[in-house]
Amino acid sequence: MSSSRVHYTGLPAVRNAFYNIFIRRTPMFALTLVAAGYAATEAVDALSDTLWERANRNKLWKHVQPQIEARKAELAAAEEEGGDA
């Protein structure tokens, strides 16, 4: 009375479970491909944004805007002081 099913342990068990869940049936395989494609797109997008910001540090508007706003405020304050005299 032996079982015809093979029981795997360790990494082969993980591979077997992955195959049975995600690849064995065509609709699940297609869904897995779509999900993996979406995840890869998001990962590449995040990586490219990070690399771009690192390469252009202190050159992008979001980095320079606070300095410009502070300078405008200083000039406006100096202009008000000069206009009162």
The number of beta carbons lying within 10 Å of the beta carbon of residue 28 is 13
Task: Write down the pLDDT at residue 4.
Answer: 65
Task: Write down the pLDDT at residue 8.
Answer: 84
Q: Which residue positions in the chain have pLDDT lower than 50?
A: 1
Residue with tokens 């079982």: 3
Element holding 85 (H helix, E strand): none
Task: Write down the pLDDT at residue 2.
Answer: 56
Going along the chain from its start, the domains and CATH numbers come out as 11-84 (1.20.5.260)
Using CA atoms, how far apart are residues 36 and 40, in angstroms rounded to an integer? Answer: 6
Task: Write down the pLDDT at residue 52.
Answer: 97
